[in-house]
Structure 1
Amino acid sequence: YETGTGRGMGTRDSAQDTLGTVHNAPDRARTTLSMLWHLQYKDGHTWHQVLPLTGEGGPGLAAEFPSWPQWFCDDHLWLILGVCSYLRETGDLAYLDESIEYWDGGSDSVWNHMMRAVDFTLQHRGPHGLPRMGFSDWDDTLNVDHGSGKAESVWCAQQFCRVMLDLAELSDHLHKAEEAKRFRALHAEMAEIINSVAWDGDWYARAFDDEGKPIGVKSEKHHRIALNTQTWAVIGEAAPRDRALRAMEQAHEKLNCKFGLALLWPAYTEGNERVRGTTTYPPGAKENGGVFCHANTWAIVAAAKLGLAERAMQYWKQITPFTRRDVDVMKVEPYVYCGNITGPEHKRPGYARNAWLSGTAAWTYVAATQWSLGIRPTYEGLMIAPMIPESWQGFRATRVFRGVRYLINVVRVGKGSSVQLTVDGRAIEGNVVPLPAAGTEEVSIDVKLG
């Protein structure tokens, strides 16, 4: 299972792994993304699983329920996020022209593969205009589409919003003005739908079931609030700031414990045919109210995006293995991220499982370096926008970006997170260090923060 030689590795997981490795293994990231794009069908969706040794794909868990949708609503969208991350890091725009075969025949450029992925989501929307759930979304156990085609994922709608913003940014860089305009319009349309049908007064609903009824709302006995739709409301920039802050505060109040943020609350206490897989686990375990470390990394990003530096650092510390001293409770290696930790509703809270098998490591690296430290690759250069606790007096970092070593020295001069950059002794405007002249080996950056 862990090696991917049995049922395979997750397509979405493999795409997300590139986010945290592209900075030091760009060729490997490109090869992985190309392998994953080959799993795409001409209609735009992809196989859910990939066998990395052969490049073959498969439907994963969906095969056990052949009468249900055999696709997952998020897999193909992760590939777009992976490509945009690769391009920001490397500037290798020629990759967009690479021709890759579809699984069911024919070939096309990477750009057109991405466009077919977008079209699949747009062509598979439910009654509210949100993406249809398919077999499930990122949460493999949230199986609410039993064949009606009405089940929708609010989280995937927020993911789609993030994809649209990434594609708009890429289109700006490619001088594709009409495409950029279209992607921003699609973002605005989906965000409007989310805020119209999924806002429950204090947080965002998680999904709509097979009958079109909401899940993750106050009126539910179980699963009244979910973590992912609060964090991705921020990441996808789908929520107005007041709602984003309110949703994140409610998630903190109702889901957080010393081991991290639970995926949902309250947990299911018995089997439920409506949601199926989630209810097969005991309360507080895995997707049924457990602390999913992977999802906690998105809380770090969301908090940092909102300017909540202390909260972002708190979330990072809660799931980082070496901050825990209760190995007798944790029961896994204290030097590697695990997939999940039993939550406060479990009989043994703090018990960790699935070490080495998690998307947590890659996303934690992204969250810590790009959002807390604020060192982010862009198409125009390296952004320096730290979001660190006010108790930090600064930090030093070395970042290799497009073959150049950046020596970064951050010094706090006051409260807040505004920056003044001096690059090789010259003050510059803004927070993006422009790409240096060809042949440059090293750039020194002094940052005044506050």
Structure 2
Amino acid sequence: MLEKLVARGVKTTPEAVLRNSFKSLNENSKVDAMFTDTTFKSVIGVSGLPFKVPAVLQLLKSRDVSEYLLTQAENGASVMVEIESNGSVSVYKSANGEIQKIEVPAEIKQKIETLLSNVSNWAGHLNDKGEHVIDLRTPAPGPHFYVNLLMGNRIGFDHALQTTPKSVVDRLGRGAFRSHAATQVLATRWDMRQEEGGFPANRQFYLVENYKKIFYSADPNDCNIESATCTHSQNHTIIEYRTKCGLSIKRTIFILPQIEGLPLATEVQRIEVTNLTDKERNIKLVYTGMFGTPATHAIFEDVLYTNVIMQSSIMRKDDGSIIAITPDYYPEPFREDMRFHTMMVRNGDSLEFPKEFCANYNEFVGNGTLEDPENISKLSNHFYRKGPGFFALASEVKLGAGKTAVFDNFTGLSSNKVNPSFNEEVFKKEVSNLVDKFSNAGEVEKALEQVIKFAERYSSFMQLKTEDEEFNTYFNKNLPFQVLYQTFVSRSFCQTQKGYREIGFREIQDLYASMYYFVSMGEGDFVKQLLKEWCSMIFEFGYAYHNFFWVGKEPGKWSDDALWFVQAVYRYISLTGDIKFLDEEVEVAGTNPAAKRPVYETIKALIKYSAQISIGKHGLPLLDNADWNDCLKLDNDFIDGITKEKLYKEQIAKSGNSDEPFESDYSESVMNAFLLKVAIDEMIQLSGEKGDAEYKAQLEKMSSKLFDNIQKHAWKEDFFARVLFNRFKDGKFTYLGAKGDNLSADPEIDGSYFLNSFSWSILSDSADEEQIAIMLDRVEKYLKTPYGLKLVTPTDLGRVANDTATGHYFPGDRENGGVFKHATMMATAAMFKAAKTVKSKELAARLANMAYWMVDLVAPFRTMSNPFEKAGNPRFCTQYNNSETGENIGPMLSGTSTWLTLTLMSAFGVEYTTQGLIIDPIIREGEQTTSYSVNTGKAVYNITIKKPKGFYRSADGNVKISVDGKEIEGNLVPLFNDNKEHNVEVLFS
């Protein structure tokens, strides 16, 4: 009888067999083990580890150690290597129920001890600057773990939202590089492996001496390498090697900030090669990469096409040296973006350019491999009439004893996206300008310093000082940078996102957090520019494009999109007091010729659409294709916004009633109802400040009616529903989410429970205190796991639709019961909000403690405690945790970091209003002092919170707040515009 075993069904683990075979093994000892065969009865294991690592696999990489251990494990025996506290190892064998200690040959024992000597540093370490310092020769915990994010800076230049360059760089310097939108400068890699987000030749180089390769940048385990480390910093990466033949090599990778007259996107890699010997050496450096194709569609359909439409090309100086190598494309539209690579060689006072190139990957590698190519001693300098965009440039230097040669490499792209008169002459001029500027000594260093200083200025908006130094470093250094990066890139690019997903409308959420940082730098006008770009994606009727790169797509298919815009505008006006922004004119999506209207009218239109037109039988907004949760596609026959608008106009033409809603049996999104209520309530405040009493009165009625409908139709005894159904005429299914919905996939749970219904009912002021307490019980009982709050309990959505999360993912993954960390941070924001306002102090403490518990699970540096099981990235939030294993799963870019920032601002008590700063903190029960600074761009507030141990909040009336030594009434701190520092003390008693 055949037996089928599947990963999620196999309960026997090698670690369990190891512990069973060696009964004396301490139950608290961290172990790693591997089955010797598929009988699953014997194992090879290692005990005494600092955390679980792939130690056995590392041991088996050594031929001598592998032969010894596998020989001991013959005939069904199990073998365990035990690491003792002093670093020495002992080896034990378990066979036929007997355990014996083995005398290991001295040379084998020494090799085992050497291989396991640095286990605690296999994942690297985070230093006090928030940098990840990594040994290149250790195993990787996961595809995202050793990755850095780089970005350019186009603030003040046109179309910054879509034209800001971005890169992903792994610890070996590999990865992809994009310029505007989804345009690849350096090619991504189209295969099934997550680990390689870019073509493997990208940013790599070889050193050749005496016609022989002595070094390859992506092969740190080469026998000539003595040490190899990588340091990932905020917006730049440094990789350093030392060779046994006496060379020191340093690589510095970053993206240039935009400079007028230079290409749209330029990435720099400075390579410094130092001769540590006492002899002069002739060293040749060969630099490689793969340019991205402009014919992205053909990657899926016709790779041959991507080859035959291009030819190799170089730009030369008068002396024949190469200023740049560039692919030359035939179809005119593909000449709108021109890629290039330039190498400058500095040796002492001399500046030279290469005189060798190769434009054919197969010729370069020959019968060898990328790590050891055949044709490296002399590049062919041959022009090819077709082929992928591979390039190699080579240059040789005479390197004196103790001297350093510098190879500055610039990879970039010029484009018509920011220059309507762009042509080949403009391209050559921009490259020439780049070469002229950076030929000057010190310019690369200045550019890097500018990059570093910008990151420091940006993050200075809020600097934290708690009793947790690791948390402070993360909050002050890495969290701001991820929020900055996502403002321009969001979910469209990261290590494992190899496709061309566009910027989604709802990703305006990233601006919710980054606007505070921009305004603190004096870049309020830039925030307005970004807001207008999103606003221009909203149609006259009030629905929005779901995503866009230059041209909007999927109008009105996702029903939550436009609603997110109101929160962004409200936050901006609360932050800046710029109520006149509502009167600024913005283009209307879908109009030809382009029409304009004020931001205020755009918001009116989207509220009318979501509150009065696109609603269901219970008066709540329609779900359409899906709302925030893309995997909640419950109406297979949904229609998009354009179709709905057309049908609605036909409907009211027949009825003569322009006030009636769209008639349908489509489902209603309760989450959208909450988002709509937030939008309406925020516009009540803004219309009041604007002096529009008539519209304010309309909105107040609208808010009251919506609240009543939510309470009447969406509250289902123990939870708010997630969706209301209208199409099941037999009444079998009337709602999704909450007790009794008949859609639970867990026989132990009566109903399904969605975290977002809890979160947004609180964030929209739709839940009363009793409802919050009831829901919190359900969250703790059904959604809380050791690895965070699940998005949803097991739910059989296949009973009502066929394209949902439960049809796409295994239970525990992503939207099918995974810990969707973006959603968990919305939940923590809701918990802190409720903890400040509910009357019950006990309930408030429960909410705050759960919020901090969840924050600690999301904070990425916590992965360092168990890196090979938690994986993820220790500096940047990933999007998901598997709720069964705790593994951090990509993508690496997500709303998690944005909402983590917002939730921590709430926890530390920072809320901007046009009247002043509201200071209303809830700090951890165990902490007695928390300090932080807030830079508004017009003044700096140094805020110190002191309390006894335990739960304290302002609502209980036991707090005194003083500003510059003077006690104030309440907790509204005035707005200062004097560019001075002011001290605020919050004292609980």
Q: Which residue of 1 aligns with 2:289?
A: none
Report the Cα offset of residue 149 of structure 1: 4.3
1:370-418 deviations in Å (ceiling 9; x for gaps): x111111111111100012332212111001242111111111585312
Q: Which residue of 2 aligns with 1:37?
A: 535
Q: Which residue of 1 aligns with 2:942?
A: 407
Query: Radius of gyration: which is bigger?
Result: 2
Q: Which residue of 2 aligns with 1:18?
A: 511
**d(CA) in 2 for partners of 1:252 and 1:174?**
43
**d(CA) in 2 for partners of 1:50 and 1:337?**
24
Aligned CA distance change for structure 1 residues 275 and 388 (closer, same or farther; 3 Å):
farther
Report the 3-state secondary structure (helix = DSSP H, G, I; strand = E; otherwise coil) of the residue aligned with 2:516.
Answer: coil
Runs of 4+ residues over 4 Å off in structure 1 = 270-273
Q: Is the 8 A contact 1:135 1:145 kept in 2?
A: yes
Letter in 1 for 2:736: I
Report the Cα offset of residue 272 of structure 1: 5.0
After superposition, residues 44-443 of structure 1 pair within 5 angstroms as 44-51=542-549, 54=550, 56-59=551-554, 70-105=556-591, 106-122=595-611, 123-147=613-637, 149-209=665-725, 211=727, 213-219=734-740, 220=742, 221-222=744-745, 224-268=752-796, 271-272=798-799, 274=801, 276-279=803-806, 280-307=808-835, 308-324=847-863, 325-344=865-884, 349-369=885-905, 371-412=906-947, 416-418=952-954, 419-436=959-976, 438-443=977-982
Letter in 2 for 1:197: H
Q: Is the 8 A contact 2:930 2:946 kept in 1?
A: yes
**d(CA) in 1 for partners of 2:704 and 2:574?**
23
Aligned CA distance change for structure 1 residues 119 and 402 (closer, same or farther; 3 Å):
farther
**d(CA) in 1 for partners of 2:833 and 2:518?**
26
Report the Cα offset of residue 444 of structure 1: 1.6
Q: Which residue of 2 aligns with 1:67?
A: none
**d(CA) in 2 for partners of 1:367 and 1:448?**
22
Aligned CA distance change for structure 1 residues 175 and 440 (closer, same or farther; 3 Å):
farther
Report the Cα offset of residue 30 of structure 1: 2.2
Q: Which residue of 2 aligns with 1:65?
A: none
Q: Is the 8 A contact 2:588 2:596 kept in 1?
A: yes
**d(CA) in 2 for partners of 1:356 and 1:313?**
22
Q: Is the 8 A contact 1:312 1:372 kept in 2?
A: no
Report the Cα offset of residue 423 of structure 1: 1.2
- More displaced, 322-331 or 92-101? 322-331
Q: Which residue of 1 aligns with 2:246?
A: none
Letter in 1 for 2:725: D
TM-score with structure 1 length normalisation? 0.90
Report the Cα offset of residue 298 of structure 1: 1.3
1:93-138 deviations in Å (ceiling 9; x for gaps): 2221211111122110111111111011021110111110111100
**d(CA) in 2 for partners of 1:7 and 1:411?**
46
Q: Is the 8 A contact 1:209 1:274 kept in 2?
A: no
- More displaced, 144-153 or 99-108? 144-153
Q: Is the 8 A contact 2:860 2:872 kept in 1?
A: no
**d(CA) in 2 for partners of 1:242 and 1:358?**
33
1:131-171 deviations in Å (ceiling 9; x for gaps): 10111100011011233542100111111111122112223
**d(CA) in 1 for partners of 2:707 and 2:762?**
11
Aligned CA distance change for structure 1 residues 121 and 440 (closer, same or farther; 3 Å):
same
**1:448 maps onto 2:952 in alignment:** no
**d(CA) in 1 for partners of 2:665 and 2:561?**
18
Letter in 2 for 1:447: V
Q: Which residue of 1 aligns with 2:502?
A: 8
Higher relative contact order (CA 8 A, sep 6+): 1
Q: Which residue of 1 aligns with 2:287?
A: none
Report the Cα offset of residue 244 of structure 1: 1.7
**d(CA) in 2 for partners of 1:180 and 1:442?**
38
1:36-74 deviations in Å (ceiling 9; x for gaps): 1111110011100022xx3x21118xxxxxxxxx52111
Letter in 2 for 1:382: L
Report the Cα offset of residue 337 of structure 1: 0.6
Report the Cα offset of residue 22 of structure 1: 0.6
**d(CA) in 1 for partners of 2:776 and 2:629?**
19
Report the Cα offset of residue 288 of structure 1: 0.9
Aligned CA distance change for structure 1 residues 352 and 271 (closer, same or farther; 3 Å):
farther
**d(CA) in 1 for partners of 2:938 and 2:945?**
22
- More displaced, 297-306 or 326-335? 326-335
Report the Cα offset of residue 187 of structure 1: 2.1
Report the 3-state secondary structure (helix = DSSP H, G, I; strand = E; otherwise coil) of the residue aligned with 1:397.
Answer: strand
**d(CA) in 2 for partners of 1:214 and 1:273?**
11
1:200-243 deviations in Å (ceiling 9; x for gaps): 21111110236262111322223611110011110000011110
Aligned CA distance change for structure 1 residues 352 and 89 (closer, same or farther; 3 Å):
same
Report the Cα offset of residue 267 of structure 1: 4.2
**d(CA) in 2 for partners of 1:402 and 1:430?**
24
Q: Is the 8 A contact 1:337 1:355 kept in 2?
A: no
Gaps of 5+ in 1: 61-69
Aligned CA distance change for structure 1 residues 275 and 92 (closer, same or farther; 3 Å):
farther
- More displaced, 300-309 or 377-386? 300-309
Report the Cα offset of residue 316 of structure 1: 0.9
Aligned CA distance change for structure 1 residues 335 and 232 (closer, same or farther; 3 Å):
same
Q: Is the 8 A contact 1:46 1:75 kept in 2?
A: yes
Report the 3-state secondary structure (helix = DSSP H, G, I; strand = E; otherwise coil) of the residue aligned with 1:447.
Answer: strand
Give aligned pairs, total. 430
Report the Cα offset of residue 182 of structure 1: 3.0
Aligned CA distance change for structure 1 residues 379 and 202 (closer, same or farther; 3 Å):
same
Report the 3-state secondary structure (helix = DSSP H, G, I; strand = E; otherwise coil) of the residue aligned with 1:390.
Answer: coil
Report the 3-state secondary structure (helix = DSSP H, G, I; strand = E; otherwise coil) of the residue aligned with 2:804.
Answer: helix
Report the 3-state secondary structure (helix = DSSP H, G, I; strand = E; otherwise coil) of the residue aligned with 1:22.
Answer: helix
**d(CA) in 2 for partners of 1:23 and 1:301?**
17
- More displaced, 180-189 or 93-102? 180-189
Q: Is the 8 A contact 1:88 1:379 kept in 2?
A: yes
Report the 3-state secondary structure (helix = DSSP H, G, I; strand = E; otherwise coil) of the residue aligned with 2:698.
Answer: helix
Report the 3-state secondary structure (helix = DSSP H, G, I; strand = E; otherwise coil) of the residue aligned with 1:368.
Answer: helix
TM-score with structure 2 length normalisation? 0.42
Q: Is the 8 A contact 1:173 1:379 kept in 2?
A: no
- More displaced, 111-120 or 88-97? 88-97
1:275-297 deviations in Å (ceiling 9; x for gaps): 62212111111111111000000
